[in-house]
Structure 1
Amino acid sequence: MKLSLDWVRDYIDLPTDLDITTIAHDITLKTVEVEGWTNPAHQLTNIVVAHIADVTQLGDNGVRLTCDIGQPQPITVASRVTDLTPGRILGLALPGARLTPRGGDAVREVAVAQVMGIDSYGVLISPADVGLAGLFPGGDTALLDAVDLNVPAGTPLASAVGYDDWVLEIDNKSLTNRPDLWGHYGMARELAAIYHLPLKPLPAAALPAPVEGLIGQLDAQLCRRFVAVSFDLPEHGPAPLWVRSRLARIGENPRSLCVDLTNYVMHTVGQPAHVYDRDQITVPLSASVTNTATKVDLLAGHSRELEAGTPVITDTAGPVGVAGIIGGADSSVTDSTRHFVLETASFHPQPIRRASQHLGIRTEASARFEKNLDTQRVDAAVGLFLHLLGDLAPNTQLLGSQDSANTATQPAVVDTDLGFLTTRIGETLTGSDVTATLTTLGFDVTSTNGGRLQITAPTWRSTGDISGPHDIIEEVARIRGYDTIPTAGLTVPLRPARQLNARPLERVLREQLAAAGLHEVVTYPWTIDAFLAATGHTKDTTVRIDGAPAPDRDSLRPALIPNLLEAAAANLRYTDTIAIYEAGTVFHAGADAPYRDRFEILPAHRLSLAAVLVGGDGPTLFRRAKGVLEHLRGHAHLTDLTFTTDGEPASWADASARLTITSSGQHIGTLGLLTSKARRAAGIAVSAAAFEIDAAALRAHSSRTNTFTPLPEFPDAEFDLSVVVADTVTWADIAGTTTAVGAPVNTVAYIGEFRGSWVPDAHRSLSLRITARADHTLAADEISATRQQVLDALAADHGARLREV
């Protein structure tokens, strides 16, 4: 929201020595956040009102002007506008002025220049060159005619049009709960309280005589109050310059007298209003919601199909505008309008907010109605409009008014006491302190001898802003100044903190999966039917939910794999390889129980941990997934995590590459490659491996004993072996046999495997790396003997033979 200090000064006499920085600071500290401020006069620097004293033709292409700009000597200006005559009063940009032709981004700085053979010391401007297209007629190209400004030659244009002002930019989010501040008068009230200044009363004129037939039915769920005024104007032209100037400074485009006055009133008191061309509507006006879809042409070129339930203002023929948001194009006033109806209404905020979001139209009016305006503000808006109309158009004929209300805003009443306020604010307060502060904000305070206070909030603060004693604390503290609250030292005993470095196992598992190169994803707690079927789940075994986001998404996930496959399939368009994991809750039907054994009945749910690896060849993916689980076992310090070919693995796992995962003898999950059927159903065309385990069944060692192991005094010796073994021999068998050889074998590591034409069917060539360690440097013959011992053991236990190719 934009706030003009010149406008505010209509209602309070701000000290002249109060600079803009101080004002912005005090408003931010005590009321709402000021994001910045500008002086509109800066865009008009070095632009003056010039009187044309003489015109000399320069051939057929231009003229030489002698311009009086209030200095002892006139200046010479060259212009290609040839129909100029002496006596014209125009806007002139002097050297140093910055112009933005036609409102574009390119800035042109005026300088002394040779034009048509003469030195030109200025440039005649159009209103659009300096951002004043709304203040002067003529469009983008007509010269700025300043004759109606009635100022001496040389007067800065900024002063002539009232642009010598400070405009503050207020953060709208800080105004959300303060509907009283969405207008200049409300902000003037705050500044009056901050600087202990009197607030001038808001000008108002009485309603004309009451008549019937202006207002029809009012839907109580939409409209709380509706005031209509009928009036005639013999002429309807532009508003006076001071009104147009103020509106333009805060970003409003001036249009015509009555439209500008409704905007002026809205930006003064925060209450929107709207005028209709009475010849284009058939009263009475009603406030209701549409029963059927209706297409309506709206102001500003909007055209919308209004769905049933949209709040509207209607006449006897149909909608003439969207209630609280925007008027209809057919009923809008023009320069030829002579008969008017003014609408000023108070709406419930929820219907206006929903309609604004649904239509994609957000206006200054809707922004205010969404904040829950009080019904009494209608009186202030109508009174100010009629006052201004009477001053600016004395020939106005007021024909009548009608006021209809469903409900009225009731002042909020809060009971509290001085002791409550004192202890919360941190300084001793008297009844007069509190009363003086609150009275300046419009509150009424009644106190008793016992320190009890009954505080009645004004209606403009009673629509949700003020509700309890805590709100009174804020009002008193902020106006008195948060920076004036005395500080008090605290005595805090400092004791050494015991560092356990303990973290929940779930967090450790997440960290270790990330360390293993997997990316965490977070999916919805429901799952899609197609991915349920792809992984072998049926809907009748899932927990169903009401109000599902879609008909095929009404099952809570029984496992994490379906949602991870959905995420992988959606992202394969961007990358060839995917490695993702999730730790989350899964739900099981038919096992409802009290939550934590004592709360409401909920479906059984457990923490599950799953990962999906996509891209590359299947065996590599399978080994990587198995390696990730072994990484978890070691780095998360799990008590037990083993693999077996026994048990019932998940149906999505391919029989050629799957393992059952166990812990403490309990089946807790499955590791395997996805079957081709599961991949096709999930939309994944490449190999994929996955695992899912019941994380709630995992246990970590409660502590561990760290012992010092000295580094070896003599170097290790490493050698590689490649042996041909049957596919039925697992890596665990090979590693166990090799380690059992004993000293000097220290460790054994997997390198890789190979299958080729020379490798027998159902066999593979397996490469391993052995590290030997002894209490002396191993000689070549000792390493050779150890190598032979390992080969003999592998041959004896598994029928392995040395690869010779």
Structure 2
Amino acid sequence: MHISYRWLARHLDLSGHDPASIARDLTLHVAEVEGFHRFAPALDAVVVGQVLSREPHPDADRLSLCQVDLGDGPPRAIVCGAANVAAGQTVAVAPVGALLPGDIEIRRAKIRGQVSEGMICSERELGVSDEQAGIWELPAGLGPGQTLTEALGGADWVFEIENKAITHRPDLWAHRGLAAELAALWGRPLLPMETRLPATGEGPDFAVRIATPHCPRYLALPIDGVRAERSPEWLRLLLLATGQRPIDQLVDVSNFVMLDLGQPNHLFDRDRVAGGIEVREARQGETMRTLDGESRSLQPGDVLICSDDQPVALGGVMGGEGSKVAADTRRLLLEVANFDAAAIRATAARLGLRTDASARFEKALDPGLPLDAAGHLVRLLSELQPGLSLPAAPTDIGTWRDPAMSLAFRPERARALLGIPLTDRDIARYLERLGFGIEGDGATWQVRVPSWRATGDVSIEEDLIEEVGRLHGYENIAEQPIRADLSPALPDRRRAVVRAAQDSLSGGPAFNEALTYSFIAEPVVRAIGAESEPYTEVVNAIAAGLDRIRRDIVPSLLGLVEPNLRHAEELRLFEIGKGSRVEDKDDWGKPAEVHQIGLVWSRPAAGTGAAFDDTVQLRLKGVVEQLLSAIDAPPPTWRPAAAASRPSWAHPGRSALAMADGPAGEVPLAFLGDIDPLVARRLGWAEGRETAAASIDIDVIVGLPIHRRVFKDLPRYPGVKIDVALAVDAMLPASELEAAVRRAGGDQVAKVELFDLYGGAQLGQGRKSLAYHVLLQSDSRTLSDADGQRFLAALEQEAARLGAELRRA
């Protein structure tokens, strides 16, 4: 959320506090400020100019030659390409030497033969807005030569507030609320603000009916005699600084009140809702077109604002296309309502339509705020348009009640929890500055919680104690050494595995750790072909399409590949997390959790001249083996993965399981496989890449005995190196052939390394040849050629049992 320094100054005297100190105070006492920046700093270098004359450029149809008074001497000749420049205008001029956004320096130049001594600027060229339709025409009466910063009210800074820090504080989603926090912190009064509704006419009440419990309060106020005109610069600049796009006075004042007080509101063209207003829930299958032009499919639970039974707004989220304010609107209906937070959150999440309004209603707004917001809006609009009138009093109905309440509070309890010797007077002063009322004295007080803090934020005594500590300043609490009996924590094998895995993968393999949601997106489920698998469903999904919990880690990583490959050619990701298996139950009857390490490696495919083992899958196999060793898992035996054990994303012919002996037989430690090309296309990956993924089962590994790596002395005697090649059936796993090599050499086999894979016509149909480097070594003597011959003879017999043939030169 963006907050304007100049806007805060409308509510509080900021003297003595620069933007840096305000950012510090907010971070320490209110909410984290992620950063702050100067708004449109180019305004310091740009001055006010008066266009004295405009003549067509003699040599260019689309250019004008202007004489512009800058207040410091003779008029400047400036060539301008904007179609809307005219004599008599007050404009923004970048004089020679000014530096504009993009490091553009203005210089004296000849443009089609005419000297130009500056530049008449648009808002876009100054970094104020995206408006580029023409030059920025300033209000008449500004003195030529002033910098725009001086002429338009002074410099502004924008504070970037971390939204997650204020999700429990609806009052802080407004400039007035944040100013109140600073006022309490500094001991200064808020500047007065008149929000009483002006006198209204005695016309009939506008017809409003509420037919849903999701709308506790609805206020409707008719306003006549309005015009959709351009807003004054002070209003436009404040909105622009906070990320809003100015439209016209009607829309801008509506947005201003929302950002000022935190209460969303909506303006209808009253002629388009002449049938009155009904607030009801949507019917199954009902649709409406919102202000963004999108057709929305609705369902029961969504709040609709209707006129003549036709939806005119999606309550608490966005207005409707058919009732919006237009250039010819003269009669308004102002809506200021209070909606149920959970209902608005559910609608916005399901539709993927989170707006400034819904973000505030989701926080449980003070139901007492609508009348103040209505009065504030009318007074602001009447200052801009003195001719408007209120033909009737507001229709203000609903079942709402004031949420203000009292809580028992013990000062001694506050001192004990905070660990500081605050006096009762200090505690009372802090609470009263924040708007709390104090009744009684002695050991227990009654503290009155104001309505704007009582909708879910402050509900127990500890909340009040937190307020005292926050205003006092946690940084002002002296550090004290912890005095407690400390005992070492019990060893946790799972935690040790996770830590070792993080160290191993982020080291030599250079994998980056990802942290994803436990939910899996609907498009990813469809892309990997896993729609038929059982999932644990989420009732209150945080966003549309995230209504199920993932079963495994790898699919979450697959969803990250395409966006991350926009920034790098090669991608190595891992995540350590949980999946949910709804078909299995834990001890409490809930869906069982599975703990996994997921890995994904994607890179451009190797060229035709690459080595046989230069594939991403074999490289990832090495990473998995290194990882298993690092987490004290037993050495794996690799076997082809059967269809039943192969996930939907894996290539059917290029996947394997890492098996190990467990207490009751073999258990799978890990799965490794290439990504199915069809899955890759569905995920939108570019052609010409190879991607492999792996999944390591932490639960299985934790259940096995720790496999300790034992140091082995360096060999005392030289070994014998023998290269062997074996022709076998193409479907025989390499792991079985390697095991045969090791059996043939027995204890003398120190190392077996596959170095070549060959297939050719001379081998016969369905045959392949695997070549190995074999190192034979003894701990007691130097081996001779005779030992090598005995090994080859034994290997020939082992190979024959597998239907293999020892190839000889």
TM-score (norm 1): 0.70
CA–CA separation in structure 2 for the residues paired with 1:518 and 1:236:
59
Q: Which residue identity does 2:306 align to in structure 1? A: T
Deviation at 1:192, TM superposition (A): 0.7
CA–CA separation in structure 1 for the residues paired with 2:245 and 2:305:
24
CA displacement 1:289-310 (0-9 Å, x = unmatched)? 22144443433x4231332333
Deviation at 1:506, TM superposition (A): 7.1
Q: Which residue identity does 1:718 align to in structure 2? A: V
Q: Which residue identity does 2:411 align to in structure 1? A: L
- Match of 1:395? 387
Does 2:325 align with 1:333?
Answer: yes
CA contact under 8 A between 2:66 and 2:80: conserved in structure 1?
no
The one of 248, 257, 268 aligned to 1:256? 248
- Residue 7 of structure 2: SS of its match in structure 1? helix
Deviation at 1:275, TM superposition (A): 1.8
- Match of 2:30? 31
- Match of 1:231? 223
The one of 403, 408, 412 aligned to 2:401? 408
Q: Which runs of 5+ in 2 are unaligned?
A: 521-531, 542-546, 601-605, 613-617, 647-651, 681-691
- Match of 2:464? 472
Q: Which residue identity does 1:123 align to in structure 2? A: M
- Match of 1:18? 17
Q: Which residue identity does 1:168 align to in structure 2? A: F
The alpha-carbon distance between structure 1 residues 283 and 131, as it changes in their structure 2 partners (threshold 3 A), is: farther
CA displacement 1:520-540 (0-9 Å, x = unmatched)? 9999999xxxxxxxxxxxx9x
CA displacement 1:63-97 (0-9 Å, x = unmatched)? 765544332x3233144689998765444331233
CA–CA separation in structure 2 for the residues paired with 1:187 and 1:398:
31
Deviation at 1:180, TM superposition (A): 0.4
The one of 297, 304, 309 aligned to 1:306? 297
- Match of 1:700? 705
- Match of 1:96? 97
The one of 715, 718, 732 aligned to 1:716? 718
CA–CA separation in structure 2 for the residues paired with 1:54 and 1:348:
58
- Match of 2:527? none
The one of 108, 113, 119 aligned to 1:112? 108
Does 2:483 align with 1:482?
Answer: no
CA–CA separation in structure 2 for the residues paired with 1:554 and 1:80:
58
CA contact under 8 A between 1:296 and 1:328: conserved in structure 2?
yes
CA–CA separation in structure 2 for the residues paired with 1:143 and 1:604:
63
Deviation at 1:98, TM superposition (A): 4.7
The alpha-carbon distance between structure 1 residues 773 and 10, as it changes in their structure 2 partners (threshold 3 A), is: closer
Does 2:419 align with 1:418?
Answer: no
The alpha-carbon distance between structure 1 residues 709 and 250, as it changes in their structure 2 partners (threshold 3 A), is: closer
CA displacement 1:551-586 (0-9 Å, x = unmatched)? xx99999xx9xx99x99xx99xx99xx9x9999999
Does 2:262 align with 1:270?
Answer: yes
- Residue 333 of structure 1: SS of its match in structure 2? coil
Deviation at 1:285, TM superposition (A): 1.0
The one of 307, 315, 337 aligned to 1:315? 307
Deviation at 1:398, TM superposition (A): 1.6
- Match of 1:159? 150
The alpha-carbon distance between structure 1 residues 329 and 99, as it changes in their structure 2 partners (threshold 3 A), is: farther
CA contact under 8 A between 1:41 and 1:163: conserved in structure 2?
no
The alpha-carbon distance between structure 1 residues 402 and 774, as it changes in their structure 2 partners (threshold 3 A), is: closer
- Match of 2:163? 172
Q: Which residue identity does 1:177 align to in structure 2? A: H
CA contact under 8 A between 1:12 and 1:200: conserved in structure 2?
yes
CA contact under 8 A between 1:230 and 1:342: conserved in structure 2?
yes
Deviation at 1:428, TM superposition (A): 0.8
CA displacement 1:489-529 (0-9 Å, x = unmatched)? 4468999x899998889779989998999999999999xxx
CA–CA separation in structure 2 for the residues paired with 1:365 and 1:691:
43
Q: Which runs of 5+ in 1 are unaligned?
A: 101-105, 527-538, 618-622
CA displacement 1:211-264 (0-9 Å, x = unmatched)? 765243214432110111113217564444433443333333333333332222
The one of 106, 117, 120 aligned to 1:121? 117
Q: Please give the root-mean-square deviation of Cα atoms over the aligned residues, in Å.
A: 6.4
CA contact under 8 A between 1:725 and 1:799: conserved in structure 2?
no
CA–CA separation in structure 1 for the residues paired with 2:192 and 2:150:
27
CA contact under 8 A between 2:758 and 2:768: conserved in structure 1?
no
CA contact under 8 A between 1:44 and 1:97: conserved in structure 2?
no
CA displacement 1:298-348 (0-9 Å, x = unmatched)? 33x423133233322111251111112222233222343222211110111
CA contact under 8 A between 1:212 and 1:402: conserved in structure 2?
no
Percent of aligned positions with the same letter in both sequences? 25
CA–CA separation in structure 2 for the residues paired with 1:39 and 1:437:
32
CA–CA separation in structure 2 for the residues paired with 1:762 and 1:305:
60
The alpha-carbon distance between structure 1 residues 53 and 214, as it changes in their structure 2 partners (threshold 3 A), is: closer
CA contact under 8 A between 1:214 and 1:283: conserved in structure 2?
no
- Residue 137 of structure 2: SS of its match in structure 1? coil
CA contact under 8 A between 2:497 and 2:631: conserved in structure 1?
no
Q: Which residue identity does 1:27 align to in structure 2? A: L
- Residue 223 of structure 1: SS of its match in structure 2? coil
- Match of 2:526? none
Q: Which residue identity does 1:112 align to in structure 2? A: R
CA–CA separation in structure 2 for the residues paired with 1:83 and 1:481:
55
CA–CA separation in structure 2 for the residues paired with 1:704 and 1:228:
76
- Match of 2:529? none
CA contact under 8 A between 2:53 and 2:67: conserved in structure 1?
yes
CA displacement 1:173-202 (0-9 Å, x = unmatched)? 322221101222112211111111012332
- Match of 2:455? 463
CA–CA separation in structure 1 for the residues paired with 2:95 and 2:80:
17
What aligned pairs does 1:188-203 form with structure 2 within 5 A after superposition? 188-203=179-194
Deviation at 1:475, TM superposition (A): 1.4
CA–CA separation in structure 2 for the residues paired with 1:263 and 1:767:
74
CA–CA separation in structure 2 for the residues paired with 1:86 and 1:249:
30
Q: Which residue identity does 1:478 align to in structure 2? A: R
- Residue 13 of structure 2: SS of its match in structure 1? coil
The alpha-carbon distance between structure 1 residues 96 and 547, as it changes in their structure 2 partners (threshold 3 A), is: closer
- Match of 2:685? none
- Residue 397 of structure 1: SS of its match in structure 2? coil
Does 2:411 align with 1:439?
Answer: no
CA–CA separation in structure 2 for the residues paired with 1:361 and 1:555:
22
Deviation at 1:636, TM superposition (A): 8.5
- Match of 1:243? 235
- Residue 439 of structure 1: SS of its match in structure 2? helix
CA contact under 8 A between 1:226 and 1:346: conserved in structure 2?
yes
Q: Which residue identity does 2:30 align to in structure 1? A: T
The alpha-carbon distance between structure 1 residues 420 and 94, as it changes in their structure 2 partners (threshold 3 A), is: same
The alpha-carbon distance between structure 1 residues 611 and 757, as it changes in their structure 2 partners (threshold 3 A), is: farther
CA–CA separation in structure 2 for the residues paired with 1:420 and 1:804:
89
CA displacement 1:18-44 (0-9 Å, x = unmatched)? 222112211222112223334446232
The alpha-carbon distance between structure 1 residues 215 and 698, as it changes in their structure 2 partners (threshold 3 A), is: same
CA displacement 1:412-469 (0-9 Å, x = unmatched)? 433231222112222111221111111111111224212x232222111111111223
Does 2:346 align with 1:344?
Answer: no
CA–CA separation in structure 2 for the residues paired with 1:234 and 1:796:
100
CA contact under 8 A between 1:409 and 1:462: conserved in structure 2?
no
The alpha-carbon distance between structure 1 residues 467 and 92, as it changes in their structure 2 partners (threshold 3 A), is: same
CA contact under 8 A between 2:196 and 2:372: conserved in structure 1?
no
- Match of 1:75? 75
CA–CA separation in structure 2 for the residues paired with 1:369 and 1:492:
45
The alpha-carbon distance between structure 1 residues 802 and 483, as it changes in their structure 2 partners (threshold 3 A), is: closer
Deviation at 1:54, TM superposition (A): 6.9
TM-score (norm 2): 0.70
Aligned length: 736
Deviation at 1:668, TM superposition (A): 3.7
